C-alpha cells in the first residue's frame, strides 16, 4: 500500500485537473471492486477474496485522502497518512482474526468463483495502472498512488494462485495462506506509514513552532 511507495523526489505535486479526473476514476473503480469482491468472497467462502476486497476499500480511501491533501501543508499530509496507517492496522487485524476463525470452520472455498473474480480484480487494477501511467512520476503522494495500483495487480495474481491451489488440493489452506500473507502486508504497510507520518507530524510541529518564534 502507501508504505511501499515512499521516498521519491518531489516533482509533479498533483495540482492538475487531468490528474484529479484520473484519480476520481480510479477511486470509483476501487470502490466498485470492493463491493464486488466482498460479495463474491462471502458467496465463495473465500478469505483471500474478502482480504483483497478490503485492499480495494483501503485503496479507494487512500486515493481519496491523497486527492484531498494535494497542495496541503506537511503536517496536514502527515496527519492524513497517520489516519491511513491506523485504518490499515484495523483491517489487518480483522483479516487475521477472520482467517483464524475460518480455520476452525468446515467448508471449502469455491475455486471457480475465486478465479473469475480474481481475474476481474486483476483487470480493474491493470485499468487503474493504465489510467495513472501518465502520472507515475511525481512527489511521494502522486508516486504512491501509481505504485500501489501496480502492486495490487501483483497481489491479485496471488489470489488467482490461491484459487488454483484450492482447486488442485481440494483444501482451503491455499486460500488461508494467501489471506494471512495479505493480512501481514496490511500490518507491515501500516507500521511503515505510521512511523513515517509520525516523523513528519513532529517535523511539521517543529517548523510551526519555529515560525511562531519569529
Mean pLDDT for the stretch of residues 178-199: 79
- Residue 32: pLDDT over 60: yes
Distance between CA atoms of residues 79 and 172, nearest Å: 39
Distance between CA atoms of residues 50 and 32, nearest Å: 14
As a dihedral over the C-alpha atoms of residue 165, residue 170, residue 174, residue 179, rounded to 10 degrees, the angle is 120
110: left (phi over 0), alpha (psi -120 to 50) or beta: beta
Domains of the chain: 13-213 (1.20.1510)
Mean pLDDT for the stretch of residues 128-149: 74
Q: Which residue has the cell 523526489?
A: 9
φ/ψ (deg, to 5) at 46? -105, 120
Distance between CA atoms of residues 25 and 154, nearest Å: 20
- pLDDT band with cut points at 50, 70 and 90 for residue 197: confident
Q: Which residue has the cell 491523497?
A: 66
Distance between CA atoms of residues 126 and 118, nearest Å: 12
pLDDT digits (tens, 9 = 90+) for 62-81: 888 888 888 777 777 777 77
pLDDT reported for residue 3: 41
Amino acid at each position: 500500500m502507501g508504505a511501499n511507495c515512499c521516498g521519491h523526489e518531489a516533482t509533479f505535486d498533483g495540482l492538475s485537473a487531468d490528474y484529479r479526473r484520473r484519480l476520481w476514476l480510479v477511486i470509483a473503480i476501487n470502490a466498485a471492486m470492493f463491493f464486488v469482491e466482498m460479495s463474491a468472497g462471502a458467496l465463495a467462502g473465500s478469505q483471500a477474496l474478502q482480504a483483497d476486497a478490503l485492499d480495494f476499500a483501503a485503496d479507494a480511501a487512500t486515493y481519496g485522502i491523497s486527492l484531498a491533501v494535494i497542495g496541503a501543508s506537511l503536517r496536514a499530509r502527515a496527519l492524513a497518512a497517520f489516519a491511513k496507517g491506523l485504518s490499515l492496522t484495523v483491517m489487518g487485524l480483522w483479516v487475521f482474526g477472520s482467517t483464524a476463525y475460518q480455520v476452525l470452520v468446515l467448508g471449502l472455498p469455491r475455486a471457480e468463483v475465486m478465479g473469475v473474480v480474481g481475474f476481474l480484480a486483476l483487470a480493474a487494477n491493470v485499468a487503474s495502472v493504465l489510467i495513472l501511467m501518465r502520472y507515475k512520476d511525481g512527489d511521494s503522494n502522486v508516486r504512491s498512488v501509481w505504485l500501489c495500483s501496480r502492486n495490487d495487480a501483483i497481489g491479485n495474481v496471488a489470489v488467482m494462485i490461491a484459487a488454483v491451489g484450492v482447486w488442485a488440493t481440494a483444501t482451503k489452506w491455499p486460500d488461508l495462506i494467501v489471506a494471512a500473507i495479505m493480512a501481514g502486508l496490511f500490518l507491515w504497510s501500516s507500521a511503515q506509514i505510521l512511523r513515517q507520518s509520525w516523523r513528519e507530524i513532529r517535523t511539521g510541529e517543529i517548523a510551526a513552532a519555529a515560525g511562531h518564534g519569529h
